[in-house]
Amino acid sequence: SAVISQKPSRDICQRGTSLTIQCQVDSQVTMMFWYRQQPGQSLTLIATANQGSEATYESGFVIDKFPISRPNLTFSTLTVSNMSPEDSSIYLCSVDLAGENTDTQYFGPGTRLTVL
Amino acid sequence: DAKTTQPPSMDCAEGRAANLPCNHSTISGNEYVYWYRQIHSQGPQYIIHGLKNNETNEMASLIITEDRKSSTLILPHATLRDTAVYYCIVRVAGLIGDSSYKLIFGSGTRLLVRP
């Protein structure tokens, strides 16, 4: 497995502002993922972030709203831009670790965001 | 769109086996079934995954039907700490070339282990 940390662990923000969430992993990984978990809901994939290339966004998510950086093999950031109360969610990063047979994702602890 | 269907909630007695079902009738031949669990306010924890054969590890067993349209996660001796939301997930091809993939989470089963 891997040790994955996220900063901040939680935040309360005003509408119209932006928040950047950091994800740090203790080993080099090719694929990192960002998810959103709205209150009481399951996880939804926002985008896949591979080092050295632009992030690939899922349907319903756009780069202007959720810009992602992936400067190296151990770090990524997700920015939630121009926030509204509907952005209140837990944001999670995960990393892919290739195993003997296939890939497995390991998740960070999440960032709990509340937008007022 | 979720590719799995799970009961919203289940309960079992501590020390007994917990059997969590999952339907994935539209799964393709090369798509894996993964199970994760999420304990309140934490990130999802990987449990087990499989393609065709039954799998077992130190946490659980995964039984996949021969037609691969459903599976069951078995926690052999449930403890109070196993109370969590359990997600049955299908791993599908991603959007970036041959090696990319993504996990499609279903709505999950909330398991309550009773003392």
Residues B2-17 have a mean pLDDT of 94
Measured distance between the N- and C-terminal CA atoms of chain B, rounded to whole angstroms: 36
What mean pLDDT is reported for chain B? 91
Position A96 scores a pLDDT of: 87
pLDDT in tens, A61-87: 999 999 999 999 999 999 999 999 999
Alpha-carbon distances, residue B64 vs A41, A71, B20, B22 (angstroms) = 26, 40, 12, 10
Contact residues on chain B for A112, CB-CB shorter than 8 A? 41
Smallest Cβ–Cβ distance between B43 and the set A56, A103, A110 belongs to A110
Position A53 scores a pLDDT of: 81
Smallest Cβ–Cβ distance between B103 and the set A4, A50, A105 belongs to A105
DSSP letters of B17-65? -EEEEEE-TT--TT-EEEEEEE-TTS--EEEEEESSS-EE-SS-EEEE-
